[in-house]
Amino acid sequence: MAVYDIVVIGGGAAGLSAAAAAAGLGLSCVVIDRMGGGGELMNLGSLHDLDEPLTGPDLAARLLENAVTAGAELEIGEVTGLAREGEGWRVSTDDGHHDARAVILAIGLAPGTLGLANEDDYEARGLSHCATCDGPLYRGEPVVVAGADRWAALEAQELSAGCSEVTLVTQGGVAPASDGFTVISGRIVALEGARGLDAVTVQPDDGSAPKRVTTQAVFVQTGRRPAGGFALQGLACGPDGRLVTDDARQTSLPGLYAAGDARTGAERTLGFAMEDGRRAAAGALAPKLNPLGKSAG
């Protein structure tokens, strides 16, 4: 068992940026990630909104290097528990535990669901959560994207380059501008197919008759929430299931911070996630500089 100033749970853009900032500020820090780091970035091709052209894995490699160079440790593992331990926290993993003065939850969002009873039957047999990874499997076939945010629309646009027909179903969101794909304002209410997916039924929002849409795959970009079953009990969450923090990124529990997509109100962009990570690290540093909470002067 090791004792750290900060344990960062999740090694995506937010977690790695938090770790680089924390280690750069002289704090001892370990990042624990089940996949070894990168998070969502590992699923992304060319990135938008950055100052230079980069792929997701390029940026992940750069953030990992920054964190390690600054002195942060990286551990591959699944975090299974988080509990108060004295003045700090105990983080349990599938391989032991670490104690820390502060913890930063940078756990991102788990893959979304459609909320249908037989959904599990189609997981990896037509249901996918990554267009960059699985899109090429459906070249020349019709596919559906479920979700209406900017990233869902981008996935639909990217898929339209190789798939015969792309339909975006909004799932309660606002219909995006369509660029090479068809938009249906409605919800998927049934999945169909014996050996894989053959079609979905969509209930349009305007109350008109359900539509059957032939498709070999549904790329699910809706219903995503933080998967923090190990930690979220007792933590204040927004209506979207994401964690509520104050300006310093501290959650409703002392010494427990949240950053990136897992934090309610955070714009789901890389720039935001990286800045959030840095702010959480600075927030976690403040009590160490001023342990008795005395005001300066």
Ligand X SMILES: Cc1cc2nc3c(=O)[nH]c(=O)nc-3n(C[C@H](O)[C@H](O)[C@H](O)COP(=O)(O)OP(=O)(O)OC[C@H]3O[C@@H](n4cnc5c(N)ncnc54)[C@H](O)[C@@H]3O)c2cc1C
Question: Smaller CB distance to ligand X: residue 210 or 238?
Answer: 238
Question: Smaller CB distance to ligand X: residue 128 or 215?
Answer: 128
Question: Smaller CB distance to ligand X: residue 43 or 201?
Answer: 43
Question: Smaller CB distance to ligand X: residue 37 or 88?
Answer: 37
Strands 165-169 and 79-85: unpaired
Question: Smaller CB distance to ligand X: residue 11 or 88?
Answer: 11
Query: What is the smallest separation between the CB atom of 15 and ligand X, expressed in angstroms?
Result: 5
Question: Smaller CB distance to ligand X: residue 74 or 184?
Answer: 74
Query: What is the smallest separation between the CB atom of 34 and ligand X, expressed in angstroms?
Result: 4
DSSP labels for 46-60? B-SSSSS--BHHHHH
Residue type for 112, please?
G
Query: What is the smallest separation between the CB atom of 206 and ligand X, expressed in angstroms?
Result: 28
Question: Smaller CB distance to ligand X: residue 132 or 214?
Answer: 132
Residue 42 C-alpha from the chain's centroid? 11
Q: What's the maximum distance between 2 C-alpha atoms anywhere in the chain?
A: 72
Residue type for 251, please?
T
Question: Smaller CB distance to ligand X: residue 9 or 197?
Answer: 9
Give exposure, 226-253, as e/b (b: 16+ Cβ within 10 Å). Answer: bebebbbeebebeeebbbebeeebbbee
CB atoms within 10 A of CB 32: 23
Chain residues in the site for ligand X (CB under 6 A): 9-15, 32-35, 39-41, 44, 47-49, 78-79, 106-108, 151, 154-155, 227, 230, 260-262, 268-271, 273
Query: What is the smallest separation between the CB atom of 201 and ligand X, expressed in angstroms?
Result: 25
**Structure token pair of residue 124:** 């990896």
**Structure token pair of residue 152:** 């869902």
With contact defined as beta carbons under 8 Å apart, do 242 and 266 qualify? yes
Helix H or strand E segment including 222? none
Query: What is the smallest separation between the CB atom of 132 and ligand X, expressed in angstroms?
Result: 8
**Structure token pair of residue 32:** 């624990």
Spatial distance between the Cα atoms of 80 and 91, rounded to a whole number of angstroms: 8
Query: What is the smallest separation between the CB atom of 213 and ligand X, expressed in angstroms?
Result: 21
Query: What is the smallest separation between the CB atom of 49 and ligand X, expressed in angstroms?
Result: 4
**Structure token pair of residue 59:** 């940026």
Query: What is the smallest separation between the CB atom of 289 and ligand X, expressed in angstroms?
Result: 26
Residues 6+ apart with CB under 8 A from 295: none
Spatial distance between the Cα atoms of 40 and 57, rounded to a whole number of angstroms: 9
